[in-house]
Amino acid sequence: MQNPPLISVITSSFNDVKLLEATIQNISAQTYPNLEYIVIDGGSSDGTKELLMRSTGVVDRWISEPDQGIYDAWNKGLTLAKGEYIAFLGAGDCYLPGGLEDLVALALGDIHAEFIFGKVSVEGSSLKRRIIGRPWSWNIFRHYMCSTHVGALHSRKLFDRYGAFNPSYRIAGDYELLLRARANLKTLYSSKVVATMLAGGISQRNHAVLHEAMRAKLEHQAVSRMVAQWDFMVAYTKLIIRSRLLNKL
């Protein structure tokens, strides 16, 4: 790959030292030649700061201080990021071999693309391994987040055009950001599985994410209030069924 663009990967964490260490090791193993890694820690007391001090060969820049949640931390990361494209990995999330290269190759094929993503494997659950992610469509996205966010590439142009994350959202801020573009969002999709994420994250187990998603849809007039309420009930029912299945195992 000639003249590969700089990719900034950002991880936010709080008292997840073991999971963060796994992600740092994954970043260390990446073969993509132009990568910077940024960690924003919320002032952990579990040895995270010491881990970051030992990981200077992999972690290019880091902060360890109290923050107002995931999206406040991501915004701090954005101020430090120098890359043409920016990606976010949670503590414990990892790229699969070649996954980052697949996304970059897609991005280089269309310089106007703002959001480049692939499929993601959800692992660590007692249920069968799940593969999530499908091509972006406004008619679907306006109802629920059909795209994957873990490891996706965000062009810097996206933030220049629509701003940073709204930290008043605690769980669905990534969805809210992309809703700002409405049908004008310029996306690219890879049918390959490019990353893994852990099952049981806050957005997968907390029905507050459904309230936030409804708020975001109404704020950006993606759907009517009646449709947003219907979407909420459907999603809530699915969440209850999934939780009961997990409790039986």
The tokens for 150 are 């873990």
What mean pLDDT is predicted for residues 123-129? 67
CA–CA distance from 147 to each of 14, 47, 85, 136, 200 (Å)?
25, 34, 17, 6, 18
Question: How far is Cα 149 from Cα 132, in angstroms, rounded to an integer?
Answer: 10
Q: At what angle do helices 225-248 and 208-219 cross, to 10 degrees?
A: 160
Is 70 exceeded by the pLDDT of residue 125? no
Task: Give me the pLDDT at residue 68, please.
Answer: 93
Q: For residue 41, what is the enclosing H or E element?
A: strand 35-41
CB 155 within 8 A of CB 114: yes
Whole-number average pLDDT of the chain? 92
Q: What is d(CA 52, CA 58) in angstroms, rounded to the nearest whole number?
A: 9
For 156-172, what is each residue's pLDDT tens digit?
999 999 999 999 999 99
Average confidence (pLDDT) over 22-36:
97
What pLDDT, on a 0 to 100 scale, did the predictor assign at position 204? 47
pLDDT of residue 248 exceeding 90: no
Domains of the chain, start order? 7-201 (3.90.550.10)
Token digits of residue 96: 């699969």
3-state secondary structure (DSSP) of residue 154: strand
Residue (of 115, 119, 153) closest to 5 by Cα position = 153
Of 77, 85, 76, which Cα lies nearest the Cα of 7? 85
